[in-house]
Chains A and B, each alone.
Chain A
């Protein structure tokens, strides 16, 4: 039953759909997809990830925020037991870092904002080895891109997922290992605590990049905010709606 469609076509009032891409103009669209393809190719190669720091300058900023909330169980492919421990000491989610004058809170708010390509490179090495699937599974990535005329640049937002493969090169910020399997559910803000154990898997992410033109056509990344959340099937993929959730297909008859 269609109760309400949030995206009706304003011309025909027919049900609309979320688009996978929004580009303010076609020229920046092709530029953006090419840039992101190259960016994540280097990002996924942990030994070459440092090459990306050449895109950042002394005033550039990078930070990570973790949305540790659990998606509803009814959401397709959702991970109901995500583990974010490897990011604990990098997480700058300002909704959770308390707005207090305590030295620890203030220190974390400042220290987890990485400024300049040296500091950003250090942070990159503290992130696990991952793989994005832009080439293999492009429908699961969505991009929005708008021009940012005040600095003759653009803001690029990409939503998608990656798979964590292995430990970071620099493990100094990883949680100290614990032998106890202290897993419990129902922490503060619907968080999911798994002690200090690190477990890798798929994660969804939203990455916001602010680009300005640099020399020789190479862009400069002024700002890079990476939001990581529990893995979940994307909203802009509509294939599942073709299936009838009530009537199973004839070929899928149950056999015991």
Chain B
């Protein structure tokens, strides 16, 4: 079950050009992807995120910190089973629509903070130092890492059909700088 239809009515009040319409859809899509990257162990949300990706292993290209995937299930499983909770904040993005194809190339620059409380995404202590269930599960975010992400989106589905299903054809995500005052190793 997926319900990834886009509702941009509220975010595009007064927009009356194709350029603005495109920008609104892509803005929403980028922000939804960042939210899903920060998602914790919510199976409904994970399934929803999986539907964002093109379900064609021959075409789909995912590069996550230089690790390649062509299977979105494997990528999402690895993403959620490794590492602590994250918090992405969008700093800049820009896009170009490839004429004739309708594909959209998006370049995103953002910051990412990691929960350094010692808990993973499911709230379990990573190092088994303290298994006291009464310990607060509230994330304690450290200094920000820099992230550069490039996307190739199927604009025909995203803009024409106003759907987020199967729109991600390519995702290249890389940490481009790292703070020194962090417990996270990358």
A interface with B by C-beta (< 8 Å): 1-8, 15, 18-19, 21-22, 24, 59, 61, 63-69, 71-72, 74-76, 78, 92-96, 99-101, 106, 109-110, 113, 142, 144, 146-151, 155, 157, 159, 189, 204, 206, 208, 210, 222-223, 225, 227, 229, 232-235, 240, 245
Q: Are A65 and B92 interface neighbours, CB within 8 A?
A: yes
Interface pairs A-B: 4 shortest CB-CB? A3-B183, A101-B14, A67-B109, A65-B94
Interface 9-residue window, one of B44-52, B157-165, B174-182 = B174-182
| A104 to B: closest C-beta gap in Å | 13
A21 and B143 alpha carbons, distance in the complex (Å): 26
Which residues from chain B sit less than 8 Å from chain A, CB to CB? 11-17, 19-20, 23-24, 26-27, 59, 61, 63, 65-68, 82-84, 90-96, 98-101, 103, 105, 107, 109, 111, 114, 116, 118, 120, 126-127, 143-146, 148, 150, 152, 169-170, 172, 174-186
Complex Cα spacing A8 to B83, Å: 10
Q: List residues of chain A with CB within 8 A of the CB of B12.
A: 99
Given A4-B120, A96-B92, 20 further pairs, Cβ under 8 A: A3-B126, A4-B82, A4-B114, A4-B183, A6-B82, A7-B65, A18-B65, A18-B66, A68-B91, A71-B144, A72-B143, A101-B16, A106-B19, A142-B176, A150-B169, A155-B105, A157-B150, A206-B176, A208-B107, A210-B105
The residue of chain A having its C-beta at the shortest distance from the C-beta of B13 within the complex is A101
Q: Which of A61, A146, A147, A148 contacts B96 (CB 8 A)?
A: A61
Residue of A nearest to B177 (CB): A232
- B14 in contact with A109 (CB, 8 Å): no
Instruction: List, in ascending order, chain B residues with CB within 8 A of A67's CB.
Output: 91-92, 109
Q: How far is the CA of A187 from the CA of B178 in the complex (A)?
A: 24
Query: How far apart are A80's CB and chain B's nearest CB, in angstroms?
Result: 13
> Are the C-beta atoms of B126 and A4 separated by less than 8 Å?
yes
| Chain A residues within 8 Å of B66, by CB | 18-19, 21-22, 144
Question: Which B residue sits closest to A210, measured CB to CB?
Answer: B105
Q: Is the CB of A75 within 8 A of B126?
A: no
A5 touching B185 by the CB < 8 A rule? yes
Contact partner of A93 (CB less than 8 A), chosen from B26, B68, B94, is B94
Do A99 and B82 touch (CB < 8 A)?
no
Whether A94 lies near B95 (C-beta < 8 A) is: yes
Query: In the complex, are the beta carbons of A66 and B83 less than 8 A apart?
Result: no
Chain B residues closer than 8 Å to A225, beta-carbon distance: 94-96, 105, 107
Complex: how many Å from CA A59 to CA B97?
10
Pairwise interchain contact A151-B61, C-beta atoms closer than 8 A: no
- Return chain B residues, CB-CB under 8 Å to A75: 143, 146, 177-180
Q: Contacts of B109 on A, CB cut-off 8 Å?
A: 65, 67, 206, 227, 229
In the bound assembly, the distance between CA atoms of A72 and B176 in angstroms comes to 13
Q: Which residues of A contact B17 (CB under 8 A)?
A: 106, 110
Contact A235 B177 (CB under 8 A): yes
Bound CA span A65–B167, Å: 23
Q: A3-B127, A151-B98 are in contact. Are A65 and B105 (CB under 8 A)?
A: no
